[in-house]
Amino acid sequence: MSIDSQQAFTDDERELSAMVREFADEVIAPRSYEADRAHQLPLDLVEQMGDLGLFGLPFPEEVGGQGGVYASLCVAIEGVARVDQSMAITLEAGVGLGAMPIYRYGTDAQKAEYLPDLVAGRALAGFGLTEAEAGSDAGATRTTARLDGGEWVIDGSKQFITNSGTDITRFVTVTAVTGRTDAGRPEISTIIVPNGTPGFTVGPAYDKVGWNASDTHPLTFDGVRVPEANLLGQRGHGFKNFLRTLDEGRVAIAALATGAAEGCVEAAVDYARSRTVFGERLSTRQNMQFLLARMHARVHTARLAWVHAARLCDAGKPFTVDAAVAKMTASDAAMANARDATQVFGGNGFINEYSVARHYRDSKILEIGEGTTEVQLMVISRALGLTGTVAA
């Protein structure tokens, strides 16, 4: 009896998943090792994902999208992540952090200028949120923007910004302090900064542990001037807007982590069936069978978690806590399965040519990006009514 691991999907989602997985196996997977070794995002693969409509999945047809829902995007991200997390995060960030803020909060002029290329995968955009002192505590943003003669003047820096330095990157959306509220708190707004704007510098790409084919850079802004019309959404709503962006991002990262966890299962099962040790196939040993069964159970649980959160998101219902649960559950699954799969492969699991070695390196960031595991625990514990500190 074979396991149907996609019972949580609709028929349309199964069809989409089959298409994406075939593309991932036949087109992306053969390029993954070299892209990882070269630390280079293959833009021709980005273009092909655009041609398949993956960047337009959650957008309506009137803006060039596929007319789907957010869950459809997550299905595609999961399918790509099985074989290559770098390509999966490029898709996730390209949609969730690049195109979606423009679609959701942009003016008609901003949508007309940027959405067609973003939705088609012909362009990418970054979301400049994280700073050296403002990661998990994004409210501590120090980048500033002030109005001067009808222009925003931006000063500050950002770090770990995905899709910010490719040859097809059009802009980054930057969170910046634009004033103070009546209560004295920072007023955070989001502003579009096109690449190539004077004073906007994209630093050298990071030398990362994993996600090596994903484009990631630090950014600096030194007296950068952009038109006042580049404000994205209402002034002072940047913090509120990015919270929605992060909630959706956590669901998408959970889908990515689920795909990574499943890729580890698939590789480990194939290896256990083909590897002979002491005259026996690894797959015939009960301890190996139990290990692989637990790995599958993690994938199953992670998928149920992200699908549930995505359904709530698409239904317009509150999903913040469910997104946190999904992100934590799936990232735990990815790390655990990467560790176990590497052990199954033995020495080969330490060789980057094998996918499980890359998953082992790649999966750690899933417990950090889009909110650390500790942040997800904070979100969940607050929902349980657990606030304040405990006296020593």
The SS3 of residue 235 is coil
What mean pLDDT is reported for the chain?
94
Residues with catalytic roles: 370
pLDDT in tens, 135-164: 667 678 899 999 999 999 999 999 999 999
Contact 90, 163 (CB under 8 A): yes
pTM of the model: 0.94
Nearest C-alpha neighbor of 239 from the set 132, 143, 341, 112 = 143
Ordered domains of the chain (ranges, CATH): 11-124 (1.10.540.10), 125-236 (2.40.110.10), 240-383 (1.20.140.10)
pLDDT category, 70, cuts 50, 70, 90? very high
Do residues 297 and 291 lie in contact, with contact meaning Cβ atoms separated by under 8 Å? Answer: no
Express each pLDDT in 295-321 by its tens digit: 999 999 999 999 999 999 999 999 999
DSSP 135: S
Contact (CB, 8 A) for 238 and 63: no
Q: Taking the CB of residue 389, how many other CB atoms lie within 10 A of it? A: 5
Q: Quick one: CA dihedral 234, 236, 239, 243, positive or negative? A: negative
C-alpha to C-alpha distance for 202 and 196, rounded to whole angstroms = 9
